[in-house]
């Protein structure tokens, strides 16, 4: 079987590298095109990332010899890849325009950037939660006059540790009205060089610019409904988020307090729902999909980032400390790998879903 050729925009950055590392040996996809800023353009990929390669894994065969192209030029990608992952790092306006130009050039684009997350006809996709949102693609293409190209984005990494568990409860029939979340986020989320070590030795920082807004708002779009060619955001749950940076390399942890509607599940029922949770990616047996999207830990002191972030290819969400709450109804701790589940791994799973559904070929 011939593999589908893939392009990576922003290939030299940290998320771009993570995409390339995770795609090494992928059964369906193969990296054949890499693009970055004009500064890197013209170099071999190997030279462009010399001394800056961060992933523990190596890139796939042939990637080091690819010549890096200028990401500002979509035409260079045409004919060289069937679709692209976008991990661009520019001003939001510029990213939005550039991503549009790739789609306009007939290239499906799966984006890590936040530029298009609030565009009403662009799905913010967690493959286990809202796979049906991809059905908006034909309307998106029609509205913009795009033939083959389209845009799908993935949400912010901070929400991944609680959105799937909350969705699983909603899907089981329990309304979730309000949530207060406090996150402890890994430094890899800020890229490289990112967070100075003077801020992370014997210290934490109780602030990450823009992160609380994303953590509060994005789940409502993901939990929304398709209607009239747009995604109508859910009105519940209301979310309040405190976002903190802590001295952890990878893995975002969230302490969550939930208020249910009238119908309130027992702790036992919550654990049962989560342990039993399975969705379309599991049914389709997508290569990047975890066997069990939610892993329930019964130990007192889990999940912990270093010990649990790599569960099931770093794609599972680990939850623990499931217990009652004196103010709301339920408390738990959720944990997910921010650069795999929350970034490149999630993007690849999205692409696998789009391929099976015929949007990518």
Q: Which of residues 56-115 bind its own copies (CB under 8 A)?
A: 56
Stretch of 83-91, 145-153, 284-292, 306-314 lying at the interface with its own copies (CB under 8 A): 306-314
Q: How many chain residues interact with its own copies (CB under 8 A)?
A: 58
Judged by CB under 8 A, does residue 179 bind its own copies?
yes
3-state secondary structure of 12: coil
Judged by CB under 8 A, does residue 248 bind its own copies?
yes
| 35 close to 90: Cβ distance less than 8 angstroms | no
Distance CA 358, CA 108 (A): 12
Q: Which of residues 331-350 bind its own copies (CB under 8 A)?
A: 331, 333
Active-site residue flag, 133: no
- Least distance (Å) between residue 245 CB and its own copies: 9
Active-site residue flag, 157: yes
- 114-152 CB burial, b ≥16 within 10 A, e <16: bbbbebebbbbbbbbbbbebbebbeebbeeeebeebbbb
Judged by CB under 8 A, does residue 192 bind its own copies?
yes
Distance CA 308, CA 290 (A): 14
Judged by CB under 8 A, does residue 182 bind its own copies?
yes
Please, which contacts does 164-167 make with residues 24 or more away whose CB atoms are closer than 8 Å? 164/126, 164/128, 164/129, 164/277, 164/293, 164/294, 164/317, 165/256, 165/274, 165/294, 165/317, 165/319, 165/332, 165/334, 166/219, 166/237, 166/256, 166/258, 167/126, 167/128, 167/129, 167/222, 167/223
Judged by CB under 8 A, does residue 255 bind its own copies?
yes
Judged by CB under 8 A, does residue 301 bind its own copies?
yes
- Least distance (Å) between residue 59 CB and its own copies: 15
- Least distance (Å) between residue 132 CB and its own copies: 27
Judged by CB under 8 A, does residue 204 bind its own copies?
yes
Nearer to its own copies, 49 or 71 (CB): 49
Nearer to its own copies, 32 or 252 (CB): 252
- Least distance (Å) between residue 177 CB and its own copies: 9
Is residue 212 within a helix (H) or strand (E), and if so which, with residue range?
Answer: helix 211-222
| Catalytic-role residue among 26, 157, 243, 337 | 157
**Among 54, 101, 119, 278, contact with its own copies (rule: CB under 8 A):** 54
Distance CA 340, CA 266 (A): 32
For the chain, the C-alpha Rg in angstroms (whole number) is 20
Instruction: Find all residues with CB under 8 Å of 279, minimum gap 6, and list them.
Output: 127, 128, 129, 131, 293
Judged by CB under 8 A, does residue 209 bind its own copies?
yes
Judged by CB under 8 A, does residue 238 bind its own copies?
yes
Binding-site ranges for its own copies (CB under 8 A): 51, 54, 56, 178-180, 182, 184, 187-188, 192-207, 209, 216, 238-240, 242, 244, 246-249, 253, 255, 257, 299-307, 310, 320-321, 325-328, 331, 333
User: Active-site positions?
Assistant: 157, 252
């Amino acid at each position: 079987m011939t593999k589908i050729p893939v392009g990576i925009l922003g290939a030299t950055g940290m998320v771009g590298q993570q995409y390339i590392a995770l795609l090494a040996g992928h059964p369906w996809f193969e990296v054949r095109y890499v693009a970055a800023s004009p500064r890197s353009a013209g170099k071999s990929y190997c030279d462009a990332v010399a001394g800056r390669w961060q992933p523990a894994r190596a890139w796939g065969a042939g990637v080091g010899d690819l010549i890096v192209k200028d990401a500002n030029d979509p035409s260079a990608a045409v004919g060289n890849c069937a679709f692209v992952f976008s991990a661009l790092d520019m001003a939001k306006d510029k990213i939005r325009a550039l991503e549009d130009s790739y789609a306009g050039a007939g290239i499906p684009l799966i984006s890590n950037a936040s530029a298009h997350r609030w565009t009403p006809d662009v799905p913010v996709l967690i493959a286990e939660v809202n796979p049906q949102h991809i059905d908006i693609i034909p309307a998106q293409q029609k509205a913009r006059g795009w033939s083959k190209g389209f845009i799908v984005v993935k949400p912010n990494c901070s929400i991944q540790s609680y959105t799937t568990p909350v969705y699983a409860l909603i899907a089981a029939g329990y309304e979730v009205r309000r949530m207060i979340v406090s996150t402890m986020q890994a430094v890899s989320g800020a890229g490289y060089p990112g967070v100075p070590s003077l801020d992370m030795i014997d210290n934490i920082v109780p602030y990450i610019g823009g992160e609380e807004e994303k953590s509060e708002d994005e789940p409502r779009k993901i939990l929304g409904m398709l209607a009239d060619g747009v995604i109508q955001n859910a009105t519940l749950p209301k979310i309040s988020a405190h976002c903190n940076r802590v001295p952890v390399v990878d893995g975002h942890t969230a302490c969550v307090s939930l208020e249910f509607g009238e119908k309130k599940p027992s702790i036992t029922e919550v654990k049962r729902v989560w342990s039993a949770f399975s969705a379309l990616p599991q049914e389709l047996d997508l290569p990047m999909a975890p066997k069990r999207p939610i892993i329930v830990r019964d130990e007192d002191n889990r999940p912990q980032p270093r010990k649990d972030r790599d569960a099931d290819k770093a794609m599972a969400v680990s939850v623990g400390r499931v217990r009652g709450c004196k103010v709301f109804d339920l408390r738990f701790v959720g944990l997910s790998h921010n650069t795999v589940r929350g970034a490149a791994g999630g993007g690849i799973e999205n692409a696998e879903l789009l391929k099976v559904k015929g949007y990518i070929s």
